[in-house]
Amino acid sequence: MNVLSPRVRRLLLAGALASAAILACTTASSTGPKPPGDTQTGGAQGLPQACNPDPTCPGSTCATSITPALSSPPVNACPRFGESQSDVDVYSWNTFVAMNWPADTSTCLPNTGSSILGGQGPVVWETYPQDTDIFVAPDAGAPGKWCTFNTPAAVEKQLLRLRRATPAERLQVAAGHVDKVLVSDSKASDLLAERFSGIGQAVGGPLTDQNGRFVRYEKRVNLDEYNYLIANNLWNAAGQNGVTVSFPTGPDQNPGPCDGGPCGPVGAMEIKASWKVLSAQEIAGKRFYMRQAWVFNDEAGDPSPGKNPVTVGLVGLHIIHKTSTQTTWFWSTFEQVDNTTSSFFNPHCSDCKDNTQTAKKPYTELAPDGGPLNAPVQVVRTTPIQATGTSPGLNEYYRGLLKGSVWANYQLISTQWATGGAPQGTPTPLANVTMETFIQPKASCLGCHKGATTADGGASADFSFLLGEAQ
């Protein structure tokens, strides 16, 4: 990665963004955003020290209220002097708000007539295609068109791909009573674990919550990355042979690497989400972003002895983004705030072994009578959030902006990125306790993903393991 000197980068960014900043300020004035402290718009009192006051860097400038302008993700972050953790963390929070803005399902764009403060879904990233939508069998034909992956028909198709659904089940799905089908009990699929043995060993198997239920995972990509994968025939293994993979970085690549045309306005993004099955008490508490999901007893798609569909709550979210200043991607990770106090931790257990796998292979969640087969994992965060360089004040500030919504119950763990002082990524380690539970002390997004290759293992996959899903 070629890195400009911090001073040169700052000068270039300031000049390039000056006109955009003027436009942004003009737009903000015309829409009349409420000042900090206006609780009706999710305002918060004062700006924390971590907020960047530089108006030429809108991506790294703290929001002062929740307005529709925040529904568009920042295309970049511009750290002051090239070494500011707080600037990239502000960028991560701004991205989190945009990705979790309610979606217009007809366009797969944010619904600017709604607000994230309503806590309603589907949200923008949920309209994106999953890895299973893209890396389909070659004899099934090319993947579908953009914005066709979150309809009841698409969810029904996912269900039928895994098992024979009863007429009653199909009616439930077709009527829109099921939002998603969740199969994977690991962020690394069986195919990835088979092709890249180190991944399976690193992930360490399923995570069992305090209710004895497995955490489920899904992976999705945005329009820019989807266009690149389809235009370059990377959705199938044969199309990856001999290809140099280089995902797009946003509006400065026009024409870009998508068959000579633009890939999209933001740059490639990947989303990885973790969900837990909620108890009746957790549902009543309304502390999670909740969806209705069909779950299975194992990754083979065997029917679950428990009820279906179930209410699941979002417990973890990875957002990764390739930009012009971070060609090794920004790696942001968020969690629900109860993860290490109740959802995955029992304060009354005196003999629990921290972060230790409890499930045995073959991994199966429930017994025939519907009871859990596996003891809960006692999850402890091994690296405090503050030790990553992320400001507690920044988390408090953004959670204050989101007060009154379920999103106030989420926090940024940190953002990993490449800097001149730490080209392998800072902070290190960085782990989400729901995704890197068993490898927290040595977890590094950059350190792991730099080894990603194409499906045949012959070439670099530009930090994305998803290409290994190709058939």
| pLDDT tens-place string over residues 155-165 | 877 777 766 66
pLDDT digits 0-9 by tens, 199-212: 655 678 999 999 99
Q: How far is 194 from 16, CA to CA, in rounded Å? A: 45
Report H helices in 303-438: 392-401
Q: How far is 218 from 206, CA to CA, in rounded Å? A: 14
Closest by Cα among 218, 206, 166, 199 to 297: 206
Q: How far is 240 from 2, CA to CA, in rounded Å? A: 26
Q: In Å, how far from its chain's centre is CA 323? A: 16
**Res 52: pLDDT:** 78
**Res 14: pLDDT:** 34
HSE, side-chain direction, 13 A CA sphere, residue 270: 23
Helix (H) or strand (E) holding 109: strand 109-110
Q: For the chain, how many helices (H) and strands (E)?
A: 11, 9
Q: Which residue has the tokens 């001073």?
A: 7
Domain spans, the chain = 117-469
Helix (H) or strand (E) holding 220: strand 216-221
Dihedral (CA of 277, 278, 280, 281) sign: positive
**Res 159: pLDDT:** 76
How many other β-carbons are positioned within 10 Å of the β-carbon of residue 7?
A: 10
**Alpha-carbon Rg for the chain in angstroms:** 22
Q: How far is 395 from 413, CA to CA, in rounded Å? A: 9
HSE, side-chain direction, 13 A CA sphere, residue 333: 23
The SS3 call for residue 224 is helix
The SS3 call for residue 250 is coil
Q: Identify the segments of the chain with pLDDT beneath 70.
A: 1-45, 80-82, 162-165, 174-176, 197-202, 252-262
**Res 22: pLDDT:** 26
DSSP 306: S
**Res 28: pLDDT:** 28
Q: How far is 353 from 418, CA to CA, in rounded Å? A: 34
**Res 21: pLDDT:** 31
Closest by Cα among 240, 265, 262, 260 to 250: 265
Phi, psi angles (nearest 5°) of residue 266: -120, -35
